[in-house]
A and B are shown apart, each in its own frame.
Chain A
Amino acid sequence: MMPEELQEIATIEQVSEQQFQSRIYVCVAAGCLSSQSDQVKEALDKEIARRGLEKWCQVKGVGCMGLCAAGPLVSVNGGEYLYQSATPADALDLVESLNDTPVKRLLCATNIPFFQRQKKIVLENCGKIDPERIEDYIANEGYTALLHALTEMNPSAVIEQVVQSGLRGRGGAGFPTGLKWTTVAKALGGQKYVICNADEGDPGAFMDRSVLESDPHRILEGMAIAAYAIGANQGFIYVRAEYPLAIKRLKIAIRQAERLGLLGSAIFGTRFNFHIDIRLGAGAFVCGEETALIASIEGKRGTPRPRPPYPAEYGLWGLPTLINNVETFANITPIIRKGGAWFAEIGTEKSKGTKVFALAGQINNTGLIEVPMGISLRDIIFEIGGGIPGDHSLKAIQTGGPSGGCIPNSYLDMSVDYDSLAQVGSIMGSGGMIVIDETSSLIDVAKFFIEFCMTESCGKCVPCRVGTKQIYQILTKIADGMAKPDDLTLLEELCELVRNTSLCGLGQSATNPVMSTLRYFREDYLAHIRVDEQESSEVPE
């Protein structure tokens, strides 16, 4: 493909879109699909055809609109009206309403904080474009960042922009992305690789899935820019097999990009070649750890190895490898398009840009949100999230999945950024946020996460393999009211051991849910501890 052709495709697509007087967008990402949004779309298509309105009204399947709890979501005329919980039977009324007043019974207010308080960068195309058509992506400035990078910037200028943006890895640890790119670019060796980590495994997290299902080309473009910057010609997307829709859409996207010459050889007539292949994970959480992921791509058992050497130096097949998370790559395109300085203005001093969170648990607006870094937890939960259902009060917020911690409600006004979260014993993680109300037991929460880590441990190193099992047994004992004060001491001793001596991040962070609940909700634990002497003295004879 040559640069002019990209513009041509964009223009043709924009013109054909403008022909329509009305537009109905139906969410076809996994959340709404599970409540039969495909049937809603089909019914709308039929209704439009029955009335012969095909040239007048467009029905398009689009990506996630965020408010998953109210699905299937249908958006009319670019967000003029938003309808919730639509069913195929509503198709008639919905089409009827195009010329008339909106269907009141389905109307979902869009002036609520859930929509107003968000800032969309990563999700800018979600809910707007058809994820299965590359033309739609191109019409929305798609692949212009790649064009700009390849034709007007040298690799070091690309890296310079990423460094300037202050972007940090969105996979969990928050390593500066620009620094990572610099190290891989500097690594010696002709053959290098780019890997996209799409093995999103945290319970309750679905950020990466939404991006892949709603805007797959954005990831391909981000990876291509990264490959150009570091000097790679081959990329891999490691995506978990539990995401069939994401895989399907990625495959379609790769095929479309290859057909147009946006992936492959001599992209935009330059000397830059880049190919992307998909590798499927087989359901192991530990394969989200970069060295285990690399082993898995190589066809080996997915177990981590000690670092250093880091993948930047010794990665896939022993060659320099850049490995970034889906959301990190999704941020690259806007950074190149609008400049690193623009990105650096958003967020806090040390955490730039926005973060996508999957809001789940006991909260009214379950779904996907994107907010600027530095927003307070209170704003996320009570403004955007719409508060807690029923008359219950907030007890804790769990961030970062099994590697994160529970933050008590006294920290509600804390700023949400990498460093503040780490300070209170949790982590940003990949963006799972589970809201816990007073009716839940935090010991159960800790037990759930440690059980998850125990069963997902690869079994390579002793502290993680045996330590998590022992911790789980002690927590079970505490939850059952069978534990004695000594067990609590043992629990703390074990947590410290597993954190400090485990081989990889899974074990090192596996105890965070236990340690943070012990730190903030110790009285909950103590209430479950059996003190035999007291008990026996109280028993009346």
Chain B
Amino acid sequence: MTIQSQIKTLKIDGRDVGARADETILEVARENNIFIPTLCNVDGLTPIGACRMCLVEIKGSNRLLPACVTHVQEGMEVITNSERLLTYRRLILELIFSERNHNCAVCVSNGHCELQALAQKIGMTHVHFPYLFPHLKVDASNLRFVIDHNRCILCTRCVRVCDEIEGAHTWDVMGRGIDARVITDLNQEWGTSETCTSCSKCVHICPTGALFEKGKSVTEMAKRQQFLAYLTLMRSKKS
């Protein structure tokens, strides 16, 4: 019997659920319509557990674990909505909003931004940390696309989609801590990148208005992420 075919039963928020052994807590929760917020995670890309929005409590452990990378175990009791978790989620979200310039009113993603939607969903009404407001550059050197670092939340979806799906690995991360930035090639202007194929996958997988297409207004710039599910499915069929 392979690991994949093993079936586990566990509890999420008191509900009994069944799962395959290779599934993560997040996958099982979604199958059962249990809400766990995520930002860096997106179906079809390697989960990295970086945004810490999906942290859950496991009974018997005092460590919080990211649901996107934690596999299910027999008899596990998962709690996704304790008072402590709700507070931490709100605070982490506030930290993201305080980090850079997330000014919805003048953002091209206003109304279809995952960060904005999540803040609304979990009821984050204001930020009680001081805004850091760094002065970051906007790189509009690419013919079709723009990267506005002021809106970037460093989820590295662009890095992963470019590496894992497009196979170009144009994007990467540079710098440490609060100075970390996504970069194209060897930290050169996007327009001069030799590896970029202008496929626009990074733009459409970006959860915020950090990556967008030139010449599109707010209503036109809705991100289309269906390509990822489609490619994942077609590629899995091929092999």
Point out residues on A near B: beta carbons under 8 Å.
284, 301, 305-306, 454-470, 473, 490, 493-494, 497, 500-503
Contacts and interface: CB of A to CB of B under 8 A. Distances in A.
B64 interface: yes
B51 interface: yes
10 contacts: A455-B176, A458-B176, A459-B176, A460-B180, A462-B95, A466-B98, A466-B99, A466-B132, A470-B98, A501-B88
Contact of A462 (B50, B65, B130, B179): B50
Contacts of A501: 52, 55, 64, 88, 92
Interface residues of B, number: 32
Main secondary structure of the interface of A (DSSP, over half): helix
Contacts of A301: 172-173
B69 interface: yes
A467 B95 contact: yes
B175 A459 contact: yes
B48 interface: yes
B154 A459 contact: yes
Given A306-B69, A463-B95, A500 B179 contact: no
Interface of B: 48-52, 55, 64-66, 69-70, 88, 91-92, 95-96, 98-99, 128-130, 132, 153-154, 172-173, 175-180
A522 B153 CA distance: 35
B69 A469 contact: no
A494 B50 CA distance: 18
Given A462-B95, A470-B130, A493-B91, A306 B66 contact: yes
Contacts of B178: 454, 457, 459, 465-466, 468-469
Contact of B49 (A306, A457, A493): A306
A470 B129 contact: yes
B130 A461 contact: no
B96 A462 contact: yes
A490 B127 CA distance: 12
Given A465-B178, A466-B178, A459 B173 contact: yes
B64 A500 contact: yes
A502 B175 CA distance: 19
A466 B64 contact: no
Contacts of B175: 459
- Residue in A284, A461, A467, A493 with the greatest tally of chain B CB atoms within 10 Å: A461
B88 A497 contact: yes
B50 A457 contact: no
